[in-house]
Amino acid sequence: MKPSAPKNVVWIIALVAGILGILGHYATIPFATEYNYYLLLAGFVLLALGTTFKGI
């Protein structure tokens, strides 16, 4: 199994989720503060899935 680069849309969504998770940890943002660890996890999982499966 060869890793492949994720599509741009998946990469951007994962990046936004990760940034919101980090910002939610350090600043008070209504949605992001409550779910900051889940947002970071979702961003990481999206990147892992996009790298593992071709076409995502």
Confidence of residue 55 (pLDDT cuts 50, 70, 90): confident
In a domain, 48, yes or no: yes
In a domain, 2, yes or no: no
Whether 23 has a pLDDT exceeding 80, the answer reads: yes
In a domain, 17, yes or no: yes
Confidence of residue 32 (pLDDT cuts 50, 70, 90): very high
In a domain, 28, yes or no: yes
In a domain, 3, yes or no: no
Q: Distance of alpha carbon 36 from its chain centroid, rounded? A: 11
Nearest to 39 by CA among 6, 56, 12, 15: 15
In a domain, 42, yes or no: yes
Domain with 15 in it: 8-52
Q: How many H-runs (helices) and E-runs (strands) does the chain carry? A: 3, 0
Domain count, the chain: 1
Whether 56 has a pLDDT exceeding 80, the answer reads: no
